[in-house]
Amino acid sequence: MSKKNRMAELHAQKELLVIEIKYEDCEETGYRKYNFDEMRTQFDKKIDELEVDAEMRQEGWNDKQRDYAMDNMTNENLSLNDEREDQWKQKNLKKY
């Protein structure tokens, strides 16, 4: 299985956080020097994006629940108003 196909399979199973591995190879010593600061910056940026996404999803859910609650309250109030109006009509129309 190619690397690209393997990555596609992993993405299908779960979401992955991907950052570029930054490094320089020293030709003289063969030592690989990683730029951890840059990689940490990339990682922190991705985490910040996920936090914003999570907050927006939560706010959206909360707004949706508030809308449902307001709709239910409005429907209940309309029903109560209709009942009160019917009761008033029955009570007051008998007088006339």
Return d(Cα 23, Cα 38) in angstroms, integer: 10
What's the mean pLDDT in 69-80? Answer: 67
pTM above 0.85, yes or no: no
Return d(Cα 5, Cα 45) in angstroms, integer: 27
Say if residues 24 and 33 touch (Cβ distance below 8 Å): yes
Residue 37's nearest CA partner among 24, 48, 50, 22 is: 22
Return d(Cα 88, Cα 81) in angstroms, integer: 10
Q: Residue 41 has what pLDDT?
A: 96
Q: Is the pLDDT of residue 7 over 90?
A: no
**Digit-coded pLDDT (tens) for 24-51:** 998 899 899 999 999 999 999 999 999 9
Residue 60, both tokens:
């959206």
